[in-house]
Each structure stands twice: as structure tokens, then as C-alpha cells.
Amino acid sequence: MNTNLSHKVAVITGAGGVICSAMARSLAAMGVKTALLDINSVAVEKLAEDIESEFKVISVGVGANVLNKESLQHAKEIINSKLGSVDYLINGAGGNSPLATSSVEQMLDSDLENLDETFFGMKMEGFDKVFDLNFKGTLLPTMVFATDMIDKKEGSIVNVSSMNSYRPLTRIAAYSAAKAAINNFTQWLAVHFSKMGVRVNAIAPGFLLTNQNRFLLTDEETGEPTPRGKKIIKNTPMERYGTPEELQGTLLYLLSDWSAFVTGVVIPVDGGFSAYSGV
Ligand code: NAD
């Protein structure tokens, strides 16, 4: 059983963001050669420099759009020439849009005067954006980068879902549905590739306290949780947020031969959130 990841080549989309930059660092710490893809080329070029100087392992940052096949094919040419053939793909680019988010959690009679705050105010443009980024933004990089793995009859793909794929969170209808589609696609592709030596799994992170949501979840002055933050903590059996670094163990497990007979699973890393009924 080969559990040594060193010198493997991993492509990570959304690597300029909070979660995937932490994933890239943890892979580099294991000696993995990392190809960092993001629409924000400046962020991934800087991250690649930092990784090379910190971990002494080759890393390349490439500006690429996960919704554009030519852009991904161009990135693949660069990656193949600088790092070699691809062993792992982490589909991390994703996110929500305010255009597909309702203002109210549950519709009440009092909302009949202001339907824009409810389901009826959400915009198709928002649904298109969220489904494109999360679903097609996983599909397309897989079409481009999995070819190397199929050629070698060896490889592992990890999609980034969310615990709201199992049970939707209030307000974010499109994001929840798009992540549910990721789970379904993960199972579909796992079966499709099962005789080709390529495994396909997903991680479903729970609530992580990051720079982006800190202002929503904690009071800036007191450091105490906001009402939404309190609700989250109350519904997380471990009674705390996770950190991007806490996804590392599950990621390494899914990429390595420790999970050689595991394909088509979505692993929650959520402090028990998805297991808890609230009672
Ligand atoms: P983030 O916004 O910090 O990172 C997302 C990255 O994707 C950004 O760097 C962005 O530039 C990049 N990106 C956006 N559109 C792109 C495109 N078209 N092509 C290429 N790159 C593009 O988000 P994050 O919190 O690090 O989330 C990473 C993943 O984890 C996402 O799939 C997200 O849905 C999922 N997730 C996050 C949380 C959380 O609490 N933060 C929880 C569950 C799941």
C-alpha cells in the first residue's frame, strides 16, 4: 500500500481561497507538487512562491477559469510541462451569490407585501451563477484533468461539497441544491471510473470561521457570537467552528491508498452538525 504522496502532482482549483490554499499547503508539506488554479492569478502566483520557499517543493500558480475549457486546457499544458502528469484533482472553486439568497428564512403572511424578500425575489441569474460555479466548475476541470489519470489507470479526485448538501440551510437555496448536485455527481463519476483505477470522493465541510464570514458570525467589538453564530454553535455538537486545517486529514486519507477501496463517498467534516437533529 503506497501512502507516500511525495512527488505526486495535484491540481487544486480555487486555490487562491481560504480552504484550498490551506489544502495546498498541507499537500506541499507532504511533498506533493501542487498546481494552484484560480481566476485570481495574482493570489495563486503569490501562494506558489510562498509554498516553494516554505516547503521546498515545486508549486505553480496558474490563472484559470473553471468555467472555460480552453482556459483549463491551457493551464494543463503549463502544468504538464512544469510538474508532469496529473495524479490528483481537488475541485475546490465554489461559492454562493446574493442574487440566489432570500432575505427571510421562512415566509410569513407579513411578507406578502414584500415578496422580493422571499423565494419570489431570487433571480435566475443568481441560480445560473451558483449552479455554474459549483456544478459545472467541478465537471469541466474533471473533464480536462482526469484524462491524465485515466491514461495511467491511477488517480484520485476530491470534490468540495458542503454539509448543506445533506440538509439545506435557510436562505441559500441555489447553493444548497448545487452542492447536493456535487454529491450526486461524485457518486455517478465514482461508478463510471471504478474500473479505470480512478477514485472519486468528496469532502463536506461544516462551518469554518474564516476571514470572509467572521464579521457575520462574531461581534467585532466583543468577540461574542452573533445571533446566527449562536444558532450555528448550538447546532454543532462539538460547540465550535472548524478550521481549514481540520480538513487536511480527510483530504490526505481520500487521496492516498489508505482509502484504496473507497469511492463515491461524501465525508462530512463538520463537528457533528449533519448528524444532529437539534434535539
Ligand atoms: P473562497 O471564496 O475563499 O475561495 C474560492 C476561490 O475560488 C476564490 O479564490 C475564487 O477566486 C475562486 N474562484 C471563483 N470563481 C472561479 C472561477 N470561475 N474559476 C476559478 N476560480 C474561481 O471560498 P472558500 O470558503 O475557501 O470555499 C472553498 C470551497 O469550499 C467552495 O467550494 C465552497 O463552496 C466550499 N465550502 C466552504 C465552506 C466555508 O465555511 N468556507 C463550507 C463548506 C463548503
Residue minimizing CA distance to atom 5 of ligand 1: 17
More confident residue, 213 or 208: 208
Ligand 1 proximity of 243 Cβ (cutoff 6 Å)? no
Ligand 1 proximity of 39 Cβ (cutoff 6 Å)? yes
Average pLDDT, the chain: 95
**What cell does 232 get?**
450555528
Instruction: Please tell me the distance from the alpha carbon of residue 35 to that of residue 253, in angstroms, as a whole number.
Output: 20
pLDDT digit string (tens) for 53-71? 999 999 999 999 999 999 9
DSSP string, 147-169: HHHHHHT-EEEEEE--GGGTSPP
Distance 116 CA to ligand 1 centre (A): 27
As a whole number, mean pLDDT of residues 41-53 equals 98
Instruction: Please tell me the distance from the alpha carbon of residue 266 to that of residue 246, in angstroms, as a whole number.
Output: 16
For residue 215, the one-letter residue type is: F
Ligand 1 proximity of 92 Cβ (cutoff 6 Å)? yes
What pLDDT is stored for residue 212 in this prediction? 66
**What cell does 55 get?**
516547503
What pLDDT is stored for residue 207 in this prediction? 93
Instruction: Please tell me the distance from the alpha carbon of residue 172 to that of residue 132, in angstroms, as a whole number.
Output: 15
Contacting residues for 258 by C-beta, under 8 A, at least 6 apart: 1, 3, 252
Ligand 1 proximity of 40 Cβ (cutoff 6 Å)? yes
* Beta-sheet pairing, 198-205 with 155-160: parallel
Contacting residues for 97 by C-beta, under 8 A, at least 6 apart: 126, 129, 130, 174, 175
Distance 15 CA to ligand 1 centre (A): 8
Q: What is the pTM of this model?
A: 0.96
Distance of CA 244 to the CA centre of its chain: 11
Confidence grade of residue 210 (pLDDT, cut at 50, 70, 90): confident
Report all structural domains of the chain as residue ranges with CATH numbers, in order of start: 9-213+243-275 (3.40.50.720)
What pLDDT is stored for residue 213 in this prediction? 77
pLDDT digit string (tens) for 73-110? 999 999 999 999 999 999 999 999 999 999 999 999 99
**What cell does 147 get?**
484524462
